[in-house]
Amino acid sequence: MNFGYARVSKEQQSLDVQIQKLKEAGCEEIFSEKASGAKDDRKQLQELLNKLRAGDTVCVVRLDRLGRRMIKLASLINELHKKGVQFISLENNIDTTTPMGMLLFNICAAFSQMERELIKERVAAGVAAARAKGRTGGRPKSLDKKGIDKLIRLKNSGEFSVKQICEMMNISKSVYYRNINSAKRS
């Protein structure tokens, strides 16, 4: 079965042109929605993916209708391929039902993999540079015993609001409440 997927980012945009092109391309059932391509929780796309069976074809007008990032696109199209589902992007001339289309997809997937590796390298270099400067990852350490004692004294004095105590001790409200609750339990 030939399925179409159409998406626009904003509520005020129209899906009509995409739907018309998908019908002209022979799509028997079209899933459409108004949602950002950056979002992962697109209900219609998920419904389409759940409905697909081997031998089906998914068609979009342009690749960016399926997703914004090449990594996500390549991963999604690869999942379709593993299920035995073909993929067609009308305006990008990608058609995995043909050898040339598969070649184009594999080139895109290779660039996506390279992008993923470059991101890993940049992150590792950034972490190494931060460590060299004495910084570590993760959330800031909680208060030590002296800090907790001071926090409890300020709270019990009744003179200060939570906001004032947080400002005086240079901590967030979540650190405040985590330490107060921890002190109550012990």
Confirm whether 150 is domain-assigned.
yes
Strands (E), the chain: 2-8, 29-34, 57-60, 86-89, 94-95
Please indicate, yes or no, whether residues 8 and 83 belong to a single structural domain of this protein.
Answer: yes
Q: What's the average model confidence in pLDDT over 164-178? A: 91
Q: What is the pLDDT of residue 113?
A: 76
Confirm whether 13 is domain-assigned.
yes
- 169 or 11, higher pLDDT: 169
Place 161 in a pLDDT band, splitting at 50, 70 and 90.
Answer: very high
Confirm whether 67 is domain-assigned.
yes
Confirm whether 137 is domain-assigned.
no
Please indicate, yes or no, whether residues 81 and 168 belong to a single structural domain of this protein.
Answer: no
Confirm whether 34 is domain-assigned.
yes
pLDDT in tens, 74-131: 788 888 989 999 999 998 888 888 888 888 777 877 877 787 788 899 999 988 888 8
pTM of the full structure: 0.59
Please indicate, yes or no, whether residues 17 and 106 belong to a single structural domain of this protein.
Answer: yes
Please indicate, yes or no, whether residues 78 and 15 belong to a single structural domain of this protein.
Answer: yes
- 141 or 79, higher pLDDT: 79
Instruction: Give the total number of structural domains in the chain.
Output: 2
Please indicate, yes or no, whether residues 105 and 28 belong to a single structural domain of this protein.
Answer: yes
Place 61 in a pLDDT band, splitting at 50, 70 and 90.
Answer: very high
> What is the rounded CA–CA span in Å between residue 179 and residue 29?
55
Q: What is the pLDDT of residue 40?
A: 67
The mean of the pLDDT values for the chain is 86
Residues labelled catalytic: 9
Confirm whether 120 is domain-assigned.
no
157, pLDDT greater than 90: yes
Which domain does 69 fall in, by range?
2-112
Please indicate, yes or no, whether residues 165 and 96 belong to a single structural domain of this protein.
Answer: no
CATH of the domain at 56: 3.40.50.1390
> What is the rounded CA–CA span in Å between residue 108 and residue 117?
14
Please indicate, yes or no, whether residues 43 and 92 belong to a single structural domain of this protein.
Answer: yes
Please indicate, yes or no, whether residues 9 and 97 belong to a single structural domain of this protein.
Answer: yes
68, pLDDT greater than 80: no
> What is the rounded CA–CA span in Å between residue 139 and residue 149?
21
Please indicate, yes or no, whether residues 103 and 156 belong to a single structural domain of this protein.
Answer: no
Q: What is the pLDDT of residue 85?
A: 94
39, pLDDT greater than 70: no
25, pLDDT greater than 90: yes
